[in-house]
Every structure is written in C-alpha cells, then in structure tokens.
Amino acid sequence: MARVIRMPSNGELPPGPVRDFVEFLFQFYREAHRPPLRVIARTINQRDDLAGTASTETIRKMLRGTTIPAHWETVEAVLIALCELAGVDPQYHATIHGREATWRRHLEDFWHSALDEPEGRHEDPWAT
C-alpha cells in the first residue's frame, strides 16, 4: 500500500519561503486526492511536452519541504502532473497576496523565494 504524504507540521517545516512553496504545491496534491508518488511520476513520464522530469523521491522531498529543485522544469513538471490528475488548469488566473497570475506563475514565484531566502529549510535547496 502506498504511503500518503502529509503536509509537514510547523515544527517539521517552520514558516518561511520554503513552507510557502510547499503549502502552495500541496494544495494541488490534495486536489488530486493524494495520488501515489509513482502515479505522479508516471504522469510526468507519459507526457512529451514537459522539459523536466521528477523521480518519486524528488516528488516526496518536494512535498515534505526537504528539497527545492534547482531547475524550474522539475517543479513545473510536478505541477503539470498534479494539475492533470486533479483536473485543474495550471493557467487558471488567481489573485494571491494582491497579485493576479496563473497558478503556474504563482508557484514559480514561491519557488524563486524558496531558493533565494530558504529560511526554515532542512536540506540543501540546490539538491534535486
């Protein structure tokens, strides 16, 4: 039986840019009904329109906040797969913190912040 990933507690992942990134990504994982990591990885691998890829371990570490991939293409691939599994359009426009942008762009902003100011991270953010 596949283990369900849970959102890290504040003790495991303190407030800050890395937690913000994980919380934002995690909403798509929840929306997709917490699919097994192998299903997410398979969804990525079955697409030929993605520049990046991600192993089950990379996906797990991203959802737990222990890794922030150094390459946007990896993050984007996970987002696109989760959106596909959830039936959500990653190009949907939403307003977050007073800024209107697509879900994809909002995640990219959170990703940049997590790399630039990673307070609260547990591992090297440059690890993939």
Q: How many angstroms separate the CA atoms of 8 and 18, rounded?
A: 11
**Number of CB atoms found within 10 A of residue 44's CB:** 22
121's enclosing H/E stretch is none
Q: Record the pTM.
A: 0.89
Check residue 121 and give its pLDDT.
44
pLDDT tens readout for residues 105-125? 999 999 999 999 876 444 444
pLDDT tens readout for residues 38-80? 999 999 999 999 999 999 999 999 999 999 999 999 999 999 9
Q: Is the pLDDT of residue 1 over 60?
A: no
